[in-house]
Structure 1
Amino acid sequence: MDIVVNEELKAYIDPLTPDEYEALERSLLAEGCRDALVLWGDVLVDGHNRYGICQKHGLPFQTVQNTRFASMEDVHLWMIDQHLGRRSVSDFQRGVLALRKREIVAARRERAKAAPAETAATEQAAAPLPAGESLDSREALARAARLKSNQVVMIEKIQQSAAPEVVAAVKAGDLSLSAAAAVASLPAEEQSAAAGAGELKQAAKRVREAKRKPAREKEEGGENAADDGAAAAQGEDALAALRKRVKELEAENAALRKQVLALLGKPGQPGAAAAPAEDADAPF
């Protein structure tokens, strides 16, 4: 039979790197094509690289039909699950595939809600989804992709905001997920300029430093506020002590006044008759 290569399906999964392709070619030449190519009718679903190498070298191969596929969506979901289970797939690729799966599953569930019961049952029977596999949360996505939740967050940001040059650098392994996510926060023009100058890592460093600066200032501001608070508390204590001392001095002054008045009013006391009346209340 004639095998049809659907270019959209072939490009749905990221291609092998040159080194990976050469390793696969050496393996096929040495051991033959041991795994059957998966078909949907006459359309090739899995084994594009193996098929191309076998055609190139005239190597024999086998095929197998997957009869569960009812639509291209089913094919996509199957392809995603196959690649999510392979160890050779990078973290970024697994994250992208999990995000694609979430979109397909969400769209399918929405159609099932809106469609008549008979249509929904037919679609579910054709390609059933595991119960609860909504992939709505980052935790669920992380489990599906065998990643950490923070990695899923970074991959989402890269998918949404990164320039093509940044994505290419991540796929090639030249830029880490965290660095690419940092660069993705820059305007697209700055990302492309940094990529063109070979300064993506430096750009990521600048972004990280810019994010750390407010945090440091906030922390230092908190420490200064604590110092100011302590100084204010000490000032209030000093003021309270001063007020207390003033009251004590006023009380002592009042007591002295009484003693003076008592002495001035005592009969026979020298100077008692000569003291002016209006000076009786004069401060001592």
Structure 2
Amino acid sequence: MNIVVNEELKAYIEPLTQDEHDALERSILTEGCRDALVLWGDVLVDGHNRYGICQKHGLPFQTVQNPRFQSMEDVHLWMIDQHLGRRSVSDFQRGVLALRKREIMAERKARAAASTEAAEAPPAPDAPEAAAALPAPDPLSSREAIAKAARLSSSQVVMIEKIQKQAAPELVAAVKSGTISINAAAAVATLPAEEQVAAAAAGKDELKQAAKRVRELNKRKPREEAAIEESPADAPADSAPATDELHTLRTRVAELTAENTELRRQVAQLQAALPADSTPF
């Protein structure tokens, strides 16, 4: 049997850790390869680790065709759905897969909208019947739908999106390895890239401290914004943080004004006490 390993498909899903791969190898050596490898023609779609282990030890395996794949996009969607249902997939990876599925479905929807007129045209009388297509996947048109598909909360989906968009590769690697939580990684991802890299290189403790610093800073921001809103309407926006300094200045002005008034009073008394023919000073 000629089985083709497509490297792009092999890398499409996050690979097993070394411990996970070793556990799978022990299981296959003890019980054999119980699950059939899924093929699309000659291309291996599901079971790359099992196939490699069986090849290494000369063990037999079974294969099954999925005749409903019509494109590589169908293959990707099927692979995503398979892994979303597996307990061994981490929360972060499930979120990444669900977001990837949303992108595929959005692209497919855009293509369908662009070719609506062509799709509505009646088929030629001699056109061959198309092969049975895969059932239409869930569109994942909302964040709630993505969260449900990934078995996550909506807030976790938001954080994973932030990590995907803003995190340096080193920080993403730390999340995948479990060195840092999704929540903490989303906080660190808001830092400049060089700070993310430095924190990831320093290890777990420094990543935690970086996340703590970001959270404390975020807690202070609402208080500063409230102070700006409570400042006089005609005051410049950037003067709000200096409210205490402004109060001090106003107090000092009042003190100087009082001192000036007192000096004027004393001068008036001295002038009144002088003889009429004396020269005023």
Q: Tell me the TM-score normalised to structure 1 length.
A: 0.73
CA drift of 1:213 comes to 1.6
Label 1:94 to 1:193 Cα distance change in 2 as closer, same or farther (>3 A).
same
Structure-1 separation of matches of 2:72 and 2:153 = 30
**Corresponding residue for 2:51?**
51
RMSD: 2.5
**Corresponding residue for 1:211?**
218
- Secondary structure of the corresponding residue to residue 171 of structure 1: helix
Which whole-Å deviations, capped at 9, do the CAs of 1:90-141 have from their partners, x for residues lacking one? 10000000011001111111111111115899999633415xx321211111
CA drift of 1:182 comes to 0.4
Label 1:215 to 1:49 Cα distance change in 2 as closer, same or farther (>3 A).
same
Structure-2 separation of matches of 1:35 and 1:214 = 54
Structure-2 separation of matches of 1:124 and 1:145 = 30
Label 1:125 to 1:118 Cα distance change in 2 as closer, same or farther (>3 A).
farther
Runs of 5+ unmatched residues, structure 2: 124-128, 231-281
Q: How does 1:1-284 map to 2 (within 5 A)?
A: 1-115=1-115, 116-117=118-119, 126-130=133-137, 133-198=138-203, 199-216=206-223
User: Mean Cα displacement is larger for which, 195-204 or 170-179?
Assistant: 195-204
Decide which structure has the larger Cα Rg and report it: 1
Residues 37 and 61, structure 2, Cα contact 8 Å, conserved in 1: yes
Label 1:28 to 1:139 Cα distance change in 2 as closer, same or farther (>3 A).
same
CA drift of 1:219 comes to 7.1
Which whole-Å deviations, capped at 9, do the CAs of 1:237-276 have from their partners, x for residues lacking one? xxxxxxxxxxxxxxxxxxxxxxxxxxxxxxxxxxxxxxxx
Structure-2 separation of matches of 1:197 and 1:120 = 64
Structure-1 separation of matches of 2:152 and 2:122 = 32
Runs of 5+ unmatched residues, structure 1: 224-284
Structure-1 separation of matches of 2:40 and 2:29 = 26
CA drift of 1:221 comes to 9.1
Residues 112 and 120, structure 1, Cα contact 8 Å, conserved in 2: no
Structure-2 separation of matches of 1:57 and 1:195 = 38
- Secondary structure of the corresponding residue to residue 45 of structure 1: strand
CA drift of 1:193 comes to 1.6
Residues 2 and 42, structure 1, Cα contact 8 Å, conserved in 2: yes
Q: Tell me the TM-score normalised to structure 2 length.
A: 0.74
Paired residues, number = 223
Structure-1 separation of matches of 2:121 and 2:71 = 14
4+ residue runs over 4 A deviation: 118-125, 216-223
User: Mean Cα displacement is larger for which, 208-217 or 61-70?
Assistant: 208-217
Percent identity between the two aligned chains: 76
Structure-1 separation of matches of 2:63 and 2:10 = 17
The residue type paired with residue 143 of structure 1 is K
